[in-house]
Amino acid sequence: MCGIVGAVAQRDVAEILVEGLRRLEYRGYDSAGVAVFSSEHALQRVRRLGKVAELANALEEQAVHGGTGIAHTRWATHGEPSERNAHPHVSGHIVIVHNGIIENHEELRVELMGLGYEFASDTDTEVIAHLVHHEQKSSPSLLAAMQKAVKRLRGAYGTVVVDSRDDSRLVVARSGSPLVIGRGIGENFIASDQLALLPVTRRFIFLEEGDVAEVTRRDVTIYDVNGDLVEREEKESDISHDAGDKGEYRHYMLKEIHEQPHAIGQTLEGRLGGDHVVVESFGNGARSIFEQVQHVQIVACGTSYNSGMVARYWFESIAGVSCDVEIASEFRYRKSVVRPGSLLITLSQSGETADTLAALRLAKASGYMSSLAICNVPGSSLVRESELAFMTRAGAEIGVASTKAFTTQLAGLLMLVAAIGRCRGNLDSAVEAGLVKALQTLPQRIKETLSLAKQIEALAEEFADKHHSLFLGRGDQYPIAMEGALKMKEISYIHAEAYAAGELKHGPLALIDAEMPIIVVAPNNDLLEKLKSNIEEVRARGGILYVFADEATGFKSNDTMRVMNINHVEEVIAPIVYTVPMQLLSYYVALIKGTDVDQPRNLAKSVTVE
């Protein structure tokens, strides 16, 4: 999705802006642009279709100078990816960048054309530029013009505006798309994600819904949705400065897969007593809420949804609490019945996914007893707007394909299941102690599984020329098959479907032939015998199987079956451990196919629009 960087300083800011855009590249985009202002120079705007590197090259040939500037990476929604649709957009002296979608852009466009404005792009953003320009004619300041303009907008925006006649200030507004102000000494910055500004500051103010702010070199003045002057807390970021570096790894995705033992260790740190989960890890007041929980409703998208699907098995079998899981984009538009004592749990790496956020807002108004976010980004909208929050501490995840965020979410969810189970009186302390012990072994178990990387790389060779694939699992491994299939399609572009293995004979068996690889996750659990029968159903029809199995299952490689042995792990953590070979398989297949692993086509890291 789009990225924003802005600066108001006394030094040349073009470099800072471009570096900020580079750090936002992982979000996915198709064009980039920058506008820099100074009292000596007229507006200097450079835009390019394609990567930030193209923009940087253009800036080498056409240097821009000035202490104030705004920059943007665009992920096309309205209007094709092209230079003319790239931001910043201009209306006279008003220059603007915008993230989000303006839903009433057509009606505003007609109105503005009636006022004599001509449009130079097909974007919805350009209506904001003209609207601010128009409102400025009857306003005492740019800030007042912005406050009037945003009242006319429906939809989502994080936007920054500059009046090119006055390079001393940026005016920004946020509704539905995140914006953060970075505080410097004698200079200030703005970005859609703090990651963009880490080279220049660690002090951040997160704008809230409806905020409009004026940012000068010295001051930040913020007005809330009612136009009242407000103070927003300044926070020190603990994200590491080099979070955006690939280090020794060829891709962020590979680096992040290998970071999982550390990320899970961090997520557990300080949250496990000797034999129990520390309930307060989920926030002040968690205990009294958990004691009353009668039902859990999980809402999420994509990979985060898959982790919710695993948690459903755990909630019902371990905590004795009923649980539903729903994709946020469905949940938010469906009339649903709220069960008494329902806790809403949202899961999200970014904490800014538009559908998940909308689902939370809807739920808050629909009678849920409370809300809990399990999230990887401190200060994100989801965290700020939920009553309880649990941070997964995976560190910045840059690869579009979510890996360490998923396994740390699962670790957090397992702790939550134990905490709720105990608070409800449904979890025996010996069972909880066993679960805690299993969680403590998790970083080491993942490390062992990562050592299969070379073997999985070899396996990927057989896989890479296929066009379709089927992933199978049963019980709490069914969502792991779903996650395996999602990773495969997302980065290798091979069509992949996941099925609960017991469902094969109800349709998908018709697809089986030697051209359809079948991937199976097979720990040694109660469902093993059932799974073995399903595997036989596939073999009998000429299917080629790739089985990731606990040694004790007795599977042996032969002509139609490749077996990859996974060290035995405690059953409860097996879904987390078996995720790792799925990630590695899709990574190595994508590598052979030569796709853009970290930024797969048509996808964005953080889906901040509907």
Q: Is 607 among the residues that bind ligand M6R (CB under 6 A)?
A: yes
Q: Is 350 among the residues that bind ligand M6R (CB under 6 A)?
A: yes
List 38, 123, 402, 553, residue binding ligand M6R (CB under 6 A): 402
Q: Which is nearer to ligand M6R, 136 or 586 (CB)?
A: 586
605 catalytic? Reply is yes
Terminal-residue alpha carbon distance, the chain: 11
Q: Is 297 among the residues that bind ligand M6R (CB under 6 A)?
A: no
Q: Which is nearer to ligand M6R, 359 or 420 (CB)?
A: 359
Coil, helix or strand at residue 433 = helix
Q: Is 31 among the residues that bind ligand M6R (CB under 6 A)?
A: no
Q: Is 423 among the residues that bind ligand M6R (CB under 6 A)?
A: no
**CA 349, CA 359: separation in Å to the nearest integer?**
16
Q: Which stretch binds ligand M6R (CB under 6 A): 174-182, 240-248, 301-309, 558-566?
A: 301-309
What strand order describes the sheet that includes 342-348? 322-327, 295-300, 342-348, 370-375, 388-391
Of 197, 121, 125, 201, the residue nearest 158 (C-alpha):
125
Q: Is 24 among the residues that bind ligand M6R (CB under 6 A)?
A: no
Q: Is 302 among the residues that bind ligand M6R (CB under 6 A)?
A: yes
- Residue 550's contacts (CB-CB under 8 Å, 6 or more residues apart) are 522, 523, 524, 565, 566, 567, 568, 569, 574
With beta carbons less than 8 A apart as the criterion, state whether 55 and 32 touch.
Answer: yes
Bridging pattern class, strands 212-216 and 166-175:
antiparallel
Least Å distance between CB 571 and ligand M6R?
26
Q: Which stretch binds ligand M6R (CB under 6 A): 50-58, 248-256, 345-353, 521-529?
A: 345-353
CA distances (Å), origin 210, targets 147, 380, 460:
10, 15, 49
List 401, 438, 442, 549, residue binding ligand M6R (CB under 6 A): 401
Phi, psi of 518 (to 5 degrees): -115, 120
**CA 581, CA 286: separation in Å to the nearest integer?**
35
Q: Which stretch binds ligand M6R (CB under 6 A): 29-37, 213-221, 394-402, 419-427?
A: 394-402
Least Å distance between CB 118 and ligand M6R?
37
Q: Which stretch binds ligand M6R (CB under 6 A): 127-135, 160-168, 398-406, 459-467?
A: 398-406
What is the SS3 string spanning 112-135?
HHHCCCCCCCCCCHHHHHHHHHHH
Q: State both tokens at 333.
A: 């538009």
Q: State both tokens at 155.
A: 């939809």
Least Å distance between CB 327 and ligand M6R?
10
Q: Which is nearer to ligand M6R, 26 or 117 (CB)?
A: 26
Least Å distance between CB 25 and ligand M6R?
15
Nearest residue to ligand M6R, scored by beta-carbon proximity: 302
Report H helices in 115-234: 125-136, 142-151
Hunting for tokens 């608070």 — which residue is that? Answer: 423
List 175, 281, 342, 353, residue binding ligand M6R (CB under 6 A): 353
List 349, 477, 579, 599, residue binding ligand M6R (CB under 6 A): 349
Q: Is 400 among the residues that bind ligand M6R (CB under 6 A)?
A: yes
CA distances (Å), origin 505, targets 162, 287, 535, 545, 608:
62, 45, 11, 16, 39
Bridging pattern class, strands 517-522 and 544-550:
parallel
Q: Which residue among the candidates 51, 255, 404, 605 is catalytic per the annotation?
A: 605
Q: Is 586 among the residues that bind ligand M6R (CB under 6 A)?
A: no
301 catalytic? Reply is no
Least Å distance between CB 585 and ligand M6R?
14
State which of positions 472-491 bind ligand M6R (CB under 6 A). Answer: 486, 490
Q: Is 372 among the residues that bind ligand M6R (CB under 6 A)?
A: no
Q: Is 606 among the residues that bind ligand M6R (CB under 6 A)?
A: yes
Least Å distance between CB 305 and ligand M6R?
7
Find the helix or strand (DSSP H, E) in which 110 lies.
Answer: helix 105-114
Of 428, 419, 392, 396, the residue nearest 576 (C-alpha):
392
Q: Is 492 among the residues that bind ligand M6R (CB under 6 A)?
A: no
Least Å distance between CB 600 and ligand M6R?
8
Of 419, 238, 402, the residue nearest 311 (C-alpha):
419
Coil, helix or strand at residue 229 = strand
- To the nearest 10°, report the CA torsion of 97, 99, 104, 106: 60
Least Å distance between CB 409 and ligand M6R?
8
Least Å distance between CB 418 and ligand M6R?
23
Bridging pattern class, strands 370-375 and 388-391:
parallel
Q: Is 370 among the residues that bind ligand M6R (CB under 6 A)?
A: no
Q: Which is nearer to ligand M6R, 188 or 349 (CB)?
A: 349
List 194, 348, 449, 492, residue binding ligand M6R (CB under 6 A): 348
Q: Is 304 among the residues that bind ligand M6R (CB under 6 A)?
A: yes
Interface contacts to ligand M6R, rule CB under 6 A: 301-304, 348-350, 353, 356, 400-402, 486, 490, 606-607
Active site residues: 2, 605
